[in-house]
Structure 1
Amino acid sequence: MDFLGLAKRRYSVRKYQGKKVEEEKLMRILEAGRVAPTGANTQPQRILVIKEKEGLEKLSKSANVYGAPVAIITCVDHSAVWKRPFDKKKISDIDVTIVTDHMMLEATAQGLGTVWICYFDPQVIKKEFNLPESFEPVNILAVGYAEGEAASPDRHDKARKPLEDIVFYESF
């Protein structure tokens, strides 16, 4: 499948089967995160995989992962982030988001469903999972086998704005 087909096949899954994610599929997902580009190749991502019952219960104090058997908490290590020299902008969220996106798309390629979660209490995650002081949880990716029918790849024709509304050439 080509990339655009893969991107259109991916959708937010909010109900999962009880089936476990195979270790080889999880490792491919994590490898996709490892090879993701980061600013100045600083690689500030720190990835916390939650797949045991106890960990998922702790995570439920902060976030709803919709019954997914695996949750990947993508954190940034602020001590390793590149800053743009002109305005000192830290690109931590950008780096970690690229990593999360790579993992999400690899999960889709592996026949798994995902939902990207940003609605969580970061302080609870820091406490429950003993995150070091310089670590900040940025995204959670719930991963598993989707329950029910997949969303249609054609949904983007109606759910997304047309290119002419979002793309400009040479000037606004």
Structure 2
Amino acid sequence: MDFIELAKKRYSTRNFNNKKVEQVKLEKILEAGRVAPTAANLQPQRILVIKTEAGLEKLKKAGNVYGAQLAFVVCADHSFSWKRAFDGKDTAEIDASIVATHMILEATDLGLNSIWVGYFKPDVIKAEFALPEGVEPINILGIGYSDEERKSPDRHNTERKPLTETVRYETF
């Protein structure tokens, strides 16, 4: 499948069933994150894999993964991230988001469903999963199987703004 087809196929699932994600698929998702580009190739991403019942229960204290049987807490280690010399901009969050995007698209390509969670309590994640100082949870990816009907890739024709509203050439 070509990239645009894959990107349009992916949607947020909020109703996962109890089927476990196979280890081989989990490893492919992690590999997709590993090969993602990061600023200066410093690779500040730190990925916490949560797949046990106990781990998923702890995760529920911080955020909702809608019953997904596999979750990744994608973190950024600020001690390893590139900082822009002109203004000190730390690219850790950007890098972690690029990694998460690669992972979520790989999951889609493997026939899995996903949800990108940004609404969570970072202090609870840090405490429950013993994140070291300087490691910030950036997002949570819920991955699994859903029984709900797949959303049509054609939904982008009506649910997304046209390029004329979001793109400018040469000047704003």
TM-score, normalised relative to structure 1: 0.99
Q: Deviations over 1:55-90 (max 9, x none)?
A: 000000010110000010000111101001111100
* Structure 2 residues not aligned, in runs of 5+: none
Moved over 2 A (4+): none
Cα distance in structure 1, aligned partners of 2:135 and 2:147 = 33
Matched ranges for 1:74-93 at <5 A: 74-93=74-93
Aligned-pair Cα RMSD in Å:
0.5
In 2, Cα distance between the equivalents of 1:67 and 1:3? 28
Q: CA deviation at 1:148?
A: 1.2
The residue type paired with residue 100 of structure 2 is T
After TM superposition, the structure 1 = structure 2 runs for residues 126-145 of structure 1, keeping only pairs within 5 Å, are 126-145=126-145
CA distance in 2, matches of 1:85, 1:134: 20
Q: Which runs of 5+ in 1 are unaligned?
A: none
- 2:152 is aligned to 152
The one-letter amino acid paired with 1:83 is: K
Aligned amino acid, residue 68 of structure 1: A
Distance 1:134 1:89 in 2: 16
- d(CA) in 1 for partners of 2:78 and 2:86? 19
Q: Secondary structure at the match of 2:85?
A: coil
The answer on 1:124 being equivalent to 2:124 is yes
Number of residues of Structure 1 aligned to a counterpart in Structure 2: 172
| Length-normalised TM-score, structure 2 | 0.99
Structure 1 Cα separation of the partners of residues 78 and 97 of structure 2: 14
